[in-house]
């Protein structure tokens, strides 16, 4: 099947220092096998873009634990004390972005927009260094698009043409991140024949997906 690779091969594609988007919300919707492969490979210096850094030993938290990350751009780090300690020790740079603004900056990159205007953060430390634009008497911050070298996303199903579906709240950031990266690698729970997924259930069309991660067999192998 075209574009299907192992998790280890996917990790090998991601160089040290790359910028990487991860779907997920405290680990829900984050691709676990790709993360494990990146940790096993010993990647270093990543810039991670995601909602959060999950928890120690979970999701993006595994990359934090293993010293793979130099910078994170997230909405919060409140659930991961390891990230907090590394930030205070100067080992990781943390850029905190309001959650809605983070989502909209990613969406803007995927849509080819020059940025978004948001009132969130006006008059606070979030405003520092940013352009303020007044519209109809209201002040807005100009927030720039956020794009990455890679987007690593978790899908519920993929078909042989790499069309993707997502399941319930695990959808979260995954569809917009698939629009905002140069290389998109999807880890589906199942790979099904073309036609099994109804067209109106496709959330990410296959043309956006560079690689699929082969699904594991029940006995621990892959296929």
Per-residue pLDDT tens digits for 183-220: 999 999 999 999 999 999 999 999 999 999 998 755 44
Q: Can you give the pLDDT at residue 2?
A: 59
What pLDDT was estimated at residue 74?
Answer: 98
Mean pLDDT across the stretch 146-154?
Answer: 98
Q: What is the pLDDT of residues 105-120, one digit of tens each?
A: 999 999 999 999 999 9
Q: Is 122 inside a domain boundary?
A: no
Distance CA 118, CA 135 (A): 11
**How many DSSP H helices and E strands does the chain contain?**
6, 12
CB 152 within 8 A of CB 23: yes
Domain that holds residue 204: 4-114+145-213
Domain count, the chain: 1
Residue 217 is predicted with a pLDDT of 59
Q: Are 222 and 214 in contact (CB under 8 A)?
A: yes
Query: Does residue 222 surpass a pLDDT of 80?
Result: no
The answer as to whether 123 is a domain residue is no
In a domain, 128, yes or no: no
pTM, two decimals, is 0.92
Could you tell me if residue 168 is inside a domain?
Answer: yes
Residue 130 lies in a domain: no
Q: What CATH number is attached to the domain comprising 162?
A: 3.40.1080.10
Residue 127: inside a domain, yes or no?
Answer: no
Tokens standing for residue 127: 């405003």
Domain assignment present for residue 9? The answer is yes
Q: pLDDT tens across 21-46, in order?
A: 999 999 999 999 999 999 999 999 99
């Amino acid at each position: 099947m075209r574009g299907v690779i192992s998790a280890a091969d996917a990790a090998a594609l991601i160089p040290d220092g790359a910028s990487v988007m991860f779907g997920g919300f405290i680990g829900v919707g984050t691709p676990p096998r790709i993360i494990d492969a990146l940790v096993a490979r010993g990647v270093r210096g990543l810039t991670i873009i995601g909602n959060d850094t999950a928890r120690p030993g979970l999701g993006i938290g595994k990359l934090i634990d293993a010293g793979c990350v130099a910078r994170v751009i997230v909405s919060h780090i409140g659930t991961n004390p390891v990230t907090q300690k590394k930030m205070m020790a100067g080992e990781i740079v943390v850029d905190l972005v309001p959650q809605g603004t983070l989502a909209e900056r990613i969406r803007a990159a995927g849509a080819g927009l020059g940025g978004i205007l948001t009132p969130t953060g006006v008059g606070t430390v979030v405003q520092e260094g940013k352009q303020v634009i007044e519209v109809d008497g209201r002040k807005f911050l100009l927030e720039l698009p956020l794009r990455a070298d890679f987007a690593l996303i978790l899908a519920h199903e993929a078909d042989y043409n790499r069309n993707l579906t997502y399941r319930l709240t695990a959808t979260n950031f995954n569809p917009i991140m698939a629009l905002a990266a140069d290389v998109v690698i999807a880890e589906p729970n199942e790979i099904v024949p073309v036609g099994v997924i109804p067209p109106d259930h496709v959330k990410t069309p296959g043309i956006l997906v560079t690689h699929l991660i082969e699904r594991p067999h029940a006995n621990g192998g892959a296929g």
